[in-house]
């Protein structure tokens, strides 16, 4: 196996770097590299710049407005964007609901929703988890009752979703809802697209350990949703949900960001003299080895997706190792920086010690990574069943 990039791939890398130098707003890049929180406008502005370049959706087929890039090109693009300090493209629209709409939506849904996702018009959030229905997602209770009236058929939705990331900014939410309470858990679920501006939708903030308003509770009370917003068939939503979760777990790997943060870790450790400690240096080396192995697995999964194969147990491997590596890097950063990593210290991204800015808040925030999108314990069960038949 030749793991070196070809001449054409190296040329593509230079093309991406040239674009980033010319178009990535420096004030946004400084925020990302300095560990500062981004505003909604930062994400939307970057998505619109990418869309204007024709790069708004690296993983989409060209038929839907995507780049049509192969797996290696997608990987190079993600890596260069992370290294330059570009904002992460929000996955909820581009990498989660969009593949579901492409695979299971009807032509009218594809023509309406997909262009508005890729050009940054609509901000999406995810309505999966509920209180008591996280890892056991099939136990969800949000109810959608079909009503026939002179105004047209619609669902009336009632219930609560939780841990809804950036739902305070969202225009739309894709929800798993129970449409047949008499069916067994997985068989009575449907996949609905719901306008967040609908009467009866309430968003309440959840403040996380790092002091951020990142996640929310979303309450739906007698919310009317047109039947036209149903994806695929009624009561077949569990099939679509599993398809989406495979894409979500693939995206969580975050190879490019992990590489950038690993370089930041080395910078901090070198500055603090921690690399002279053989045990500490060995732990850094082990994380780097794990990241290299994860990168190859990620390329395999991306290649399979290009051949229209749904992510298999490899997606769970990416989720487990990707989140464990993210946590390991933040933990080693904290140890390397020592007292300089203290929480919530107001350090400007341009200060001489900006490499230690917000280390503790990031460490606290990433404790959740091994839990969301299906806890890592659940992922190990999935791998065992898929590969060992257990």
Find the CATH number of the domain harbouring 187: 2.40.110.10
Same domain, 197 and 277: no
| Any domain includes 204 | yes
Tokens found for residue 240: 């679509």
pLDDT of residue 343: 54
Same domain, 128 and 205: yes
Indicate which CATH number applies to the domain containing 288: 1.20.140.10
Cβ neighbours of 274 (radius 10 Å): 21
Same domain, 258 and 228: no
Tokens found for residue 120: 């940054």
Question: How would DSSP label each residue in 242-286?
Answer: HHHHHHHHHHHT-HHHHHHHHHHHHHHHHHTTGGGSHHHHHHHHH
In whole angstroms, what is the distance from residue 178 CA to residue 188 CA?
6
Domain-ending residue, one of 89, 105, 134: 89
| Any domain includes 247 | no
- Asked if residues 224 and 198 have their Cβ atoms less than 8 Å apart, the reply is yes
From the list 136, 126, 236, 132, the residue with the least C-alpha distance to 188 is 236
- Asked if residues 192 and 144 have their Cβ atoms less than 8 Å apart, the reply is yes
Quote the mean pLDDT of the chain: 88
Let me know if 248 is a catalytic residue.
Answer: yes
- Asked if residues 295 and 118 have their Cβ atoms less than 8 Å apart, the reply is no
Same domain, 56 and 158: no
Q: What is the number of structural domains in the chain?
A: 3
pLDDT of residue 347: 41
pLDDT of residue 353: 46
In whole angstroms, what is the distance from residue 83 CA to residue 30 CA?
12
pLDDT of residue 246: 66
In whole angstroms, what is the distance from residue 353 CA to residue 56 CA?
34
What are the residue ranges of helices labelled H in the chain?
7-23, 26-33, 40-53, 71-84, 91, 98-104, 107-118, 237-252, 255-271, 278-306, 313-337, 359-365, 376-383
Residue 212's contacts (CB-CB under 8 Å, 6 or more residues apart) are 37, 361, 365
Residue 91's contacts (CB-CB under 8 Å, 6 or more residues apart) are 248, 251
Residue 301 three-state SS: helix
Same domain, 257 and 375: yes
| Any domain includes 118 | no
Same domain, 257 and 231: no
| Any domain includes 243 | no
Residue 84 three-state SS: helix
In whole angstroms, what is the distance from residue 295 CA to residue 85 CA?
19
Structural domain boundaries enclosing 130? 124-236
| Any domain includes 108 | no
Same domain, 53 and 150: no
pLDDT of residue 228: 96
From the list 274, 162, 172, 183, the residue with the least C-alpha distance to 225 is 172
Same domain, 328 and 290: yes
Show the low-confidence residues of the chain (pLDDT under 70). Answer: 1-3, 246-252, 302-312, 342-357, 389-390
Same domain, 275 and 383: yes
In whole angstroms, what is the distance from residue 252 CA to residue 291 CA?
13
Domain-ending residue, one of 187, 206, 236: 236
| Any domain includes 245 | no
In whole angstroms, what is the distance from residue 331 CA to residue 263 CA?
14
| Any domain includes 119 | no
In whole angstroms, what is the distance from residue 140 CA to residue 130 CA?
6
Same domain, 229 and 280: no
- Asked if residues 16 and 65 have their Cβ atoms less than 8 Å apart, the reply is no
Same domain, 202 and 227: yes
| Any domain includes 13 | yes
- Helix axis angle, 278-306 relative to 255-271, nearest 10°? 170
Domain-ending residue, one of 180, 208, 236: 236
In whole angstroms, what is the distance from residue 217 CA to residue 9 CA?
44
Catalytic residue among 80, 214, 234, 248: 248
Same domain, 258 and 381: yes
Q: Backbone phi, then psi, for 50, in 5-degree steps?
A: -65, -40
């Amino acid at each position: 196996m030749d793991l070196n990039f070809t001449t054409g791939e190296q040329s593509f890398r230079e093309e991406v770097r040239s674009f980033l130098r010319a178009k990535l707003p420096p004030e946004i890049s400084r925020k990302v590299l300095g560990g500062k929180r981004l505003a909604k406008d930062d994400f939307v502005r970057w998505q619109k710049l990418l869309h204007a370049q024709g790069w708004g959706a690296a993983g989409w087929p060209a038929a839907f407005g995507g780049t049509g890039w192969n797996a290696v090109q997608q990987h190079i693009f993600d890596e260069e964007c992370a290294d330059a300090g570009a904002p992460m493209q929000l996955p909820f629209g581009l990498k989660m609901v969009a593949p579901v709409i492409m695979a299971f939506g009807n032509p009218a849904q594809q023509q309406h929703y997909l262009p508005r996702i890729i050009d940054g018009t609509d901000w999406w959030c995810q309505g999966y988890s509920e209180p008591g229905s996280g890892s056991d997602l099939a136990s969800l209770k949000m109810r959608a009752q079909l009503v026939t009236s002179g105004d047209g058929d619609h669902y009336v939705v009632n219930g609560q979703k939780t841990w809804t990331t950036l739902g305070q900014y969202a225009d739309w939410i894709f929800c798993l809802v129970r449409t047949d309470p008499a069916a067994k858990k997985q068989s009575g679920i449907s996949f609905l697209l719901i306008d967040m501006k609908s009467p009866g939708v309430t968003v309440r903030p959840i403040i996380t350990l790092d002091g951020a308003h990142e996640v929310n509770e979303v309450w739906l009370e007698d919310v009317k949703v047109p039947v036209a917003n149903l994806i695929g068939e009624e009561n077949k939503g569990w099939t679509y949900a599993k398809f989406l979760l495979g894409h979500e777990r693939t995206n969580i790997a975050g190879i490019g960001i992990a590489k950038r943060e690993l370089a930041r870790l080395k910078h901090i450790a070198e500055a603090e003299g921690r690399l002279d400690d053989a045990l500490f240096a060995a732990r850094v080396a082990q994380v780097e080895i794990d990241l290299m192995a994860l990168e190859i697995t990620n390329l395999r999964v991306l290649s399979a997706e290009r051949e229209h194969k749904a992510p298999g147990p490899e997606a769970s491997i990416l989720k487990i190792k990707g989140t464990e590596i993210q946590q390991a890097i933040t933990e080693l950063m904290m140890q390397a920086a020592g007292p300089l990593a203290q929480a919530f210290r107001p350090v400007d991204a341009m200060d001489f010690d900006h490499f230690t800015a917000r280390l503790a808040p990031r460490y606290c925030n990433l404790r959740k990574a091994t839990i969301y999108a299906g806890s890592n314990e659940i992922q190990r069960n999935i791998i065992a069943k898929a590969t060992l038949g257990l």
